Amino acid sequence: PIYLDYAATTPVECEVAKKMMNYLTIDGIFGNAASRSHKFGWQAEEAVDIARNQISELIGADSREIIFTSGATESNNLAIKGIAFFHQKKGKHIITSKTEHKSVLDTCRYLENKGFRLTYLTPKNNGIIDLNDLKKSIKKDTILVSIMHVNNEIGIIQDIDNISKICRDHSIFFHVDATQGVGKIIINLKKLSIDLMSFSAHKVYGPKGIGGLYVRRKPRVRLLPSIHGGGHERGMRSGTLAVHQIVGMGEAFILAKNKIHDDFIHTTKLRNSLWDGIKNIEEVYLNSDLKQGVPHILNVSFNYIEGESLIMALKDLAISSGSACTSASLEPSYVLKALGIKDELAHSSIRFSIGRFTTEEEIKHTVKLVHQAIYKLRNLSPLWEM
């Protein structure tokens, strides 16, 4: 099948995988980066330092502001619980949105059970948070705002610059889940007053199982750690560093930095040909926003067709309805529902996500397959006849 699920995960770039191989075996650098008494440890530590710098360079951070984690799910947990528990004497109110990733929403639900109060903002119809709604929801005891940069289902980009200013003016911590934005659109933390930012390697052509949390140093942001132990990562996340994974993430992020412009042009072109190829199908609805969204995600609904049956009919395409994380359930996407899209249309949604290795030919073939599948399914559908 044609892979069109780059928002779920990306393949590791060959040069990244090759580099990682040098940090595993007896003839490579396999030491523990925390071993301070011999060369094996120093070499591993040096490799980690280089990767930390590469990662920092992509996002405009200081290398001392990066905490390695197992991925963005863990980073989101660490950021939100870490701030909540450390600063709960200051207040117990947290603001987020209804369209966040489950790793944010479920962490927030957990905190509600621990006595925190949550406000879940409803975005506007295009998925963007209304800044006035945000301002109005701020209470005296609000300690944290957590809003994602790019939505994983529809690709909408939030105005994190202005949100960060609102948070700064109210002395509220601001956490950004930037998993889908990092490496795709430019983020410069030097110019934004973001306190914490989550990201993951496997969305940026790096390996799975490694990610990071940016934690601002000036002014210093303090967190309660979730994983206790040897005091690695300045006490914020104990556990022996996965050197090969970290090296892979560093390499992938530097590649992303060098290719960010070309990747953007490439995915924009392909997304446009995909949409141009299918937009004239009857009863097709665009759930993404071509101007205010990232180019690699295109979410559409085909009225009178069940998303799941469409995915089955399109077995030559690797696509998803909504996100991989929730596609196990048959509920319509909570993200689309939060945008006010009615159940039938939310049920008939498909997410195409394209990437560095997608070709023009693949998109042409995709357009053809979609036309065929829709024609076939609608001919079978009693609703369509009426």
Residues classed as catalytic: 325
87 labelled binding-site residue: no
Q: CA 177, CA 192: separation in Å to the nearest integer?
A: 14
User: Which residue number, 71 or 225, has a Cβ lying nearer to ligand PMP?
Assistant: 71
349 binds ligand PMP (CB under 6 A): no
| Backbone torsions φ then ψ of 297, nearest 5 degrees | -120, 125
Query: Which span (116-124, 161-169, 174-182, 349-357) binds ligand PMP, by CB under 6 A?
Result: 174-182
In terms of Cβ atoms closer than 10 Å to its own Cβ (0-12, 13-18, 19+), residue 120 is: middle
Compute the distance between CA of residue 158 and CA of residue 152 in angstroms, rounded to an integer: 12
HEC-encoded secondary structure of 100-146:
CCHHHHHHHHHHHHCCCEEEEECCCCCCCCCHHHHHHHCCCCEEEEE
Work out whether 204 is an interface residue with ligand PMP (CB under 6 A).
no
**Residues in contact with ligand PMP, total (CB under 6 A)?**
14
- Beta-bridge mates of residue 175: 146, 196
List the one residue from 13, 65, 177, 195 that touches ligand PMP (CB under 6 A). Answer: 177
By the rule CB under 6 A, 299 interacts with ligand PMP? no
Determine which residue in the list 99, 146, 158, 179 makes contact with ligand PMP, applying CB under 6 A.
Answer: 179
Any contact of residue 335 with ligand PMP (CB under 6 A)?
no
CB of 353 to ligand PMP, least distance (A): 10
Q: CB within 8 A of 250, min separation 6: which ones?
A: 50, 51, 52, 53, 54, 55
Instruction: Report the alpha-carbon distance of residue 241 to residue 299 in Å, rounded.
Output: 37
Angle at 353 between CA 348 and CA 354, to 5 degrees: 145
Tell me if 116 sits within 8 A of 139, measured CB to CB: no
Cα(160)–Cα(368) distance, integer angstroms: 38
155 vs 218, 271, 297, 323, 346, CA distance in Å?
31, 12, 5, 11, 16
> Among all chains, which residue has been given the structure tokens 């200013």?
165
Q: Is 180 annotated as a binding residue?
A: yes
| 72 sits near ligand PMP (criterion: CB under 6 A) | yes
For residue 225, whether the previous peptide bond is cis, meaning omega lies within 30 degrees of 0, is no
Stretch that binds ligand PMP, among 175-183, 259-267, 336-344, 352-360 (CB under 6 A): 175-183
> Under the criterion CB under 6 A, does residue 184 sit at the interface with ligand PMP?
no
Stretch that binds ligand PMP, among 68-76, 166-174, 306-314, 365-373 (CB under 6 A): 68-76
Q: Applying CB under 6 A, does 10 fall inside the site for ligand PMP?
A: no
Q: How far is the CB of 211 from ligand PMP (least distance, A)?
A: 5
Of 149 and 378, which CB lies nearer to ligand PMP in the complex structure?
A: 149
Which positions from 112 through 151 interact with ligand PMP, judged by CB under 6 A? Answer: 148
* Chosen residue from 54, 73, 142, 267 binding ligand PMP by CB under 6 A: 73
Residue 103 lies near ligand PMP (rule: CB under 6 A): yes
Q: Closer CB to ligand PMP, residue 31 or residue 207?
A: 207
333 is a contact residue toward ligand PMP (CB under 6 A): no
119 is in an annotated binding site: no
Task: Choose which of 185, 224, 325, 367 interacts with ligand PMP (CB under 6 A).
Answer: 325
Pairing, β 93-97 against β 117-121: parallel
Q: Is 200 flagged in the annotation as binding?
A: yes
Q: Which helix (H) or strand (E) holds 84?
A: helix 72-86
Residue of 31, 71, 82, 332 interacting with ligand PMP (CB under 6 A): 71
Nearest alpha carbon to residue 258 among 17, 64, 16 = 16
- Nearest CA-CA partner of 82 in 13, 166, 16, 143: 143
> If binding is defined by CB under 6 A, does position 153 make contact with ligand PMP?
no
**Spatial separation of the C-alpha atoms in residues 382 and 343, rounded to whole Å:** 18
The only residue of 52, 101, 237, 244 in contact with ligand PMP, by rule CB under 6 A: 101
Q: Least Å distance between CB 180 and ligand PMP?
A: 5
Q: Binding-site residues for [2Fe-2S] cluster, please?
A: 325
Query: Residue numbers of the site for ligand PMP (CB under 6 A)?
Result: 71-73, 101, 103, 148, 152, 177, 179-180, 200, 211, 323, 325
